[in-house]
Amino acid sequence: MKRTLRYALTAVLGAAMVVPAMAQDNFPDVPDNHWAYQALENMKREGILVGYPDGMFRGARPASRYEMAVAINAAYQKLMSMMSGMSDQLKALDDKVNGLMGLPGEVKELRDQLAALKATVDGMQAWKDDIDNLKKLAEKFEKELASLGVDVEALKKDLADLADRVTKLEKRKPAVDISGDLNFLALAGHGNDDEYGMTTTGRITGAGRGAYSDAVVGMTRDLTVLHEAAFTFKGTNDEGPKWRATVVVGNMLSGVRDGFVATTALGNQSQLQLNRGFRESAADVYIQDASISVDTSMAGLAFTADVGRLGYQVGSYLLQRPDYTPYFDNDRWDNGNYYFDGGLLKFKFGQANLHLWGGRTSERESVNGVEINPLTSGVARFEDDFAGNKINIDQSFGVRLNFPISDMGAVNLAYIWLDTNNPSTFFVDNANQLWNRSNVYGGDINLKFSNFGIGAGYAKSDYTYNTSKVLTSDNDAFWAQLSYNQANFGGEVGYRQVKKNFGAPGDWGHMGVFWNPTNIEGFWAKAHFNVTPEFTISAEGHFYKGADTDAGALLNEDDRLNSFIGRLDYKLNQSWSLMASYEDVVLDSDLINVPDITQRWFTFGLGYNMGNNTRWSIMYQTSDIKNLDLVSNRFAERYRGGLLSTQLSVKF
């Protein structure tokens, strides 16, 4: 690693001197455009070829047998030197592994050394041919080598031992692979003219603390610094059970603190933190995933069984976790999986795949008692901040079938049982009815023909109390779309209808702070254009109206909800990138004397790749939201402010 860095710095700071030096280092009688120039340079640098006393190579002259013997001996000495160095490196790594227990600070250094050793071992396959060739040459030039004072029998034995050691080293690897990431996130919010700001996820910006609690403040008094480190341990065995586990330490996972403006860190990975400002949480530890995977069979049927804490998703209208942290880029928080403690069985029938899964989806808490990844189901009622007719799911079971249609695409079908141990009430036909279960089912098909793609799907969520149905009407969703993509341009148009009682735990989008809206029907369109390989323009528009009249829904019949998002992405070079976006959402109510609810955000971002595994980014977003209190129990009529966020992320 250090040598690579030294070479890189030398190339950048002194390339003008390095290149001529390399040319002069080679044999003077070999021109730099000769086909063998690079190979001869490498062999001379490694000490395998030394040339004649006058420095010449004299490639046109046939080599004598004694000259070949000198080259063979030099190659042999070089190989033995490399093996000796590798043995020392392996011993040092063994000592470090033996002393690693309980010393997380050694993980990065050990991983770098393991990566360097792995790169060397991966390249050792080519050594076998070289060693075999050296053995043959040693036998052919045995007399000449002996005249040079070389112990030919010892040379042959060393080469045989070397070949054996190469074979063993190729099979050797550490029992545990360690990887992970380290993230630092700073969030500084502000309000304008005694009005709080608001993000697209409904988070409050400009909320003071301490003596300024509940006051509208600037960035210096609404500054939150968060950090999180994750360590993934994975078994490296090629045979037998596979295992992995991810342990996370940080202050991003948190509950809610009391106050007029409630505050929290990033929350619990799967729920909106509406009307809440940003704050640090206490340091905490939690297990994101931990599982064992076994390939086995039963009654002659082969399958893979994954057991432990697992992440899974089915589709955006059935089971998929929304990304409620757009200001924080991290796979754990953004991958769309819901996590459960249980098992997943994966069967394969030809090209078709069948998955069966089930387990606990609640009481998976951090050391501080924070629920990590809660799963809810039910109807979103915006006036209750999405509380409404929803239940917390305690256990879930599901079956999913995926099968291809030629090479054009595939069909996905799923049925999911979502169950709670604490029944709730559902407001149906002016009466409260008890319910404790949601059955979500449906499927989709996606096909591609050359540059064109088509897709369609259907999903439904039934509500029951044990086996008695509580509600089975106006609780489905339908969508269809057509897309076209070529080298520099792509677009998509679609239609969807989401009924007022549809309550699957999915992620079918948001329009400003309205996430997973229901009782809507209408069209959407998206397009992107690559002006240059470095510069992309993209835009999307959504145009919906209320599907039915319902006093509790976000939209009533004839109401209009439209949104537009435009974005520019520009890659300055291999390290720097820029982005800018504008989002505009308007809810036009059909009621007399009710003003439009408008939401607008401007966002600007800058990213810098500091290396293959390190990235720094900064983003600033302004907000201006009017009349939101008309559809919510929020405490303000207008929100104007901004949020500055910066993140440093390191992967190892």
pLDDT tens-place string over residues 480-497: 999 999 989 999 999 999
List, for residues 343-358, the tens digit of each pLDDT value: 999 999 989 999 999 9
Residue 502 reports pLDDT greater than 50: yes
* pLDDT score of 15: 32
What is the rounded average pLDDT of the residues 582-606? 89
Handedness of CA 211, 214, 215, 218 (dihedral sign): positive
> Is the CATH number of domain 177-651 2.40.160.10?
yes
Higher pLDDT, 118 or 14: 118
Q: With a cut of 90, say whether residue 395 has pLDDT above it.
A: yes
- Mean local confidence (pLDDT), 470-485: 92
Residues in contact with 475: Cβ distance below 8 Å, sequence separation at least 6, in sequence order: 460, 461, 462, 463, 499, 501, 502, 503
Mention every residue, 6+ apart, whose C-beta is less than 8 A from residue 253: 265, 266, 267, 268, 269, 281, 284, 286, 366, 370, 372
Q: What percentage of the chain has pLDDT greater than the value 90?
A: 54
Q: Which of 132-146, 262-276, 531-545 has the lowest mean pLDDT?
A: 132-146
The encoded tokens of residue 327 equal 């200001």
Segment 624-628 mean pLDDT: 91
Does the pLDDT value for residue 139 go beyond 80?
Answer: no
Cβ neighbour number for residue 287 with a 10 Å cutoff = 18
* pLDDT score of 547: 85
Average pLDDT, the chain: 82
Enumerate the β-bridge partners of residue 563.
Answer: 542, 585
Is pLDDT above 80 for 159? no
pLDDT of residue 475: 92
State residue 393 phi and psi, 5-degree precision: -80, 130
Residue 27 CA to residue 149 CA, distance in Å, equals 27
Q: State residue 23's pLDDT score.
A: 37
**Distance (Å, whole) CA 338 – CA 185:** 23
**Residue 262: its pLDDT value, please?**
83
59 vs 611, residue with greater confidence: 611
Least confident interval from 41-50, 100-109, 112-121: 100-109
Q: How confident is the model at residue 161 (pLDDT cuts 50, 70, 90)?
A: confident
Strand-pair partners of 523:
495, 543
> Is residue 117 scored above 80 in pLDDT?
no
pLDDT of residue 53: 58
**Res 186 pLDDT > 90:** yes
Where do the CATH 2.40.160.10 domains begin and end in the chain?
Answer: 177-651
Residue-level length of the chain = 652
Indicate the pLDDT class of residue 138, thresholds 50, 70 and 90: low
Highest mean predicted confidence (pLDDT) among 111-115, 229-233, 378-382, 420-424: 229-233
Of 223 and 594, the structure prediction assigns the larger pLDDT to: 223
DSSP H or E segment with residue 76: helix 65-98
- Averaged over 118-141, what is the pLDDT? 60
Q: What is the 3-state secondary structure (H, E, C) of 182-193?
A: EEEEEEEEEEEC
Q: Which residue would you say has higher pLDDT here, 567 or 110?
A: 567
Q: Residue 549: name the closest of 499, 502, 596, 476 by CA.
A: 499
Rounded to an integer, the average pLDDT of 402-407 is 91
pLDDT of the residue at 261: 78
Better pLDDT: 627 or 445: 445
pLDDT of residue 153: 73
Q: What angle do CA 559, 561, 566 make, to 5 degrees?
A: 165
- Taking only the tens place, the pLDDT of each residue in 307-340 is 999 999 999 999 999 999 999 999 999 999 999 9
Residues 535-540: what's their mean pLDDT?
Answer: 98
Query: 246 to each of 97, 185, 290, 338, 546, how far by Cα in Å?
Result: 20, 20, 6, 15, 44
| Percentage of the chain modeled with pLDDT above 70 | 69
CA distance 341 to 361: 7
| pLDDT tens digits, 199-246 | 999 999 999 988 898 899 999 999 999 999 999 999 988 788 999 999
pLDDT at 237: 84
Report which of residues 76 and 217 the model is more confident about: 217
Position 387 pLDDT exceeds 50: no
Mean pLDDT of 548-563: 80
Q: Please say if the pLDDT value at position 8 is more than 50.
A: no
Q: Which of 245, 251, 115, 232 is nearest to 183 (CA)?
A: 251
Write down the pLDDT at residue 494: 97
**One-letter amino acid for residue 116 of the chain:** A
